[in-house]
Structure 1
């Protein structure tokens, strides 16, 4: 019977992970180019873990040690968001696949957030101040009103000054987030050819988060959590009753 309690406890932990992802998605619903996160259950065995193993997992977490696999994997929904017109020349949106490359203090990182600006040195940088990379390195501008075509070519005074570097990955759903809309490099990174780059100047990509869908997910998850909680409470009451009866014998 302890397996029943183990399954209920594991289900409640999975529900908590889903709630965390829903909260993250809702808090970033207005963040440009944010990609929603999804908590996916990876079932490795039809039989649930024992209650003792689940307790050990909780104790390991409290002690700061690695927990046993709880079958939860967080993936990124990489579907593109809709576009929002801003009219700002340095706002850029990638309408197809791909990421802009930027340079941070820890090396190269990648983003789809195209709300760029010029810094005091005339470099094209992200909202956080990270230099945006072109095919030839840092991009320096003479004006904040350049013309940028679909292939990422930057034109000033009818002359090309740089071209944005856009890359793609084999498995974008598994890219590791770094914060500030950045992700780390992943497997199979390749630079997109000019014909495959699709950039829109004066637009930003919206988050691919539907508040309605997230609220439905939250409601379903909370109801499932409450059901599993009742199972655990029922088992506990049944166990307590059995112990009291044994004590009366």
Structure 2
């Protein structure tokens, strides 16, 4: 019975972990660039020594991983909204000089003319921070596929395109080295900075007037949540039955 008890308990723990992850995915479904999480399901015995594998067949909560597949791109008609089609991350620097990475390209221009995130973090360009001047017409802002920002200057008949700077798109060699800090921001530990390099231009296309939607699937997640709840309830019933059975056996033997 102890083997069955262990199996039921470890399965319930895994269901609880899945419910936590699904709840986070559902909460972030409207955040641009959000990347859903999932739990690696693995047999607990696979993590045990060979001698113990035949004795236990329960499961244990697996590692929580991030699904970095691209979400759908949606038109926003807002020139300061950017989306990466393909592989790569926007890079920015915090006030305490930390480097962060995100797929959320909802940017703004600060009071001093810098391209920033909603938190005020300056967006990294290939030559440093991206700076606009007060006479730049942001309504005419364009971006090339490789990230070069330009605005239109001059009269309608004689306008020219002024280059502002190029947005830096970074590649992360092993995305499992990214550490999630929030719904949208990731960092890389100092020992893994070698994983970061400029993304190759042929591997992405940058667009403005677009945002990447979260890659969560609300309907799928709701169904999965219901299934997890049912499995957890089944485990509870089995656990109660086993505990009651154990109590009855102890009573029968006068324990």
TM bracket (short chain): 0.7 to 0.9
Q: Equivalences for 1:171-210 in 2 at 5 Å?
A: 171-173=174-176, 175-179=178-182, 181-185=184-188, 187=192, 188-210=195-217
Match of 2:74 in 1: 84
Query: 2: distance between equivalents of 1:181 and 1:26?
Result: 14
Q: Distance in 1 between matches of 2:79 and 2:240?
A: 59
Q: 1:73 to 1:224 in 2, by over 3 A?
A: same
Return structure 1 stretches of 4+ with deviation > 6 angstroms: none
Q: Distance in 1 between matches of 2:40 and 2:237?
A: 23
1:122: which partner in 2? 113
Find the partner of 1:150 among 140, 145, 154: 145
What is the TM-score with the length of structure 1 in the denominator? 0.86
Kept after mapping to 2: 8 A contact 1:128/1:180 = no
Q: Does 1:170 align with 2:173?
A: yes
Q: CA deviation at 1:160?
A: 1.8
Answer yes or no: is the 8 Å Cα contact 2:28–2:34 preserved in 1. Answer: yes
1:5-154 correspondence to structure 2 within 5 Å: 5-43=5-43, 44-45=47-48, 46=53, 47-48=55-56, 70-104=60-94, 105-142=96-133, 143=136, 144-145=138-139, 146-154=141-149
Relative distance call for 1:127 and 1:96 in structure 2 (3 A) is: same
Q: Does the 8 A contact of 2:13 with 2:61 survive in 1?
A: no
Match of 2:23, SS state, is helix
| SS, match of residue 72 in structure 1 | coil
Q: How far off is 1:71 after superposition? A: 4.3
Return 88-97 or 194-203, whichever deviates more. 194-203
Give 1:55's aligned residue: none
Greater shift, 150-159 or 80-89, is seen at 150-159
After TM superposition, the structure 1 stretch with the greater mean CA deviation from structure 2, 92-101 or 193-202, is 193-202
Give the deviation of 1:196 after TM superposition: 2.8
TM-score (normalizing by structure 2): 0.84
- Give the paired residue count: 230
Alignment check: 8 A CA contact 2:39 2:61 kept = no
| 12-21 or 41-50, larger mean C-alpha shift | 41-50
- Secondary structure of residue in 2 paired with 1:84: strand
2 CA distance for matches of 1:10 and 1:138? 50
SS at 2:253's partner residue? helix
In the alignment, the residues of structure 2 paired with residue 38 and residue 180 of structure 1 have an alpha-carbon distance, to the nearest angstrom, of 14
- What is the distance in 1 between the residues matched to 2:217 and 2:67? 12
Please report how far the alpha carbon of residue 195 of structure 1 lies from its aligned counterpart in structure 2 after TM superposition.
Answer: 3.1
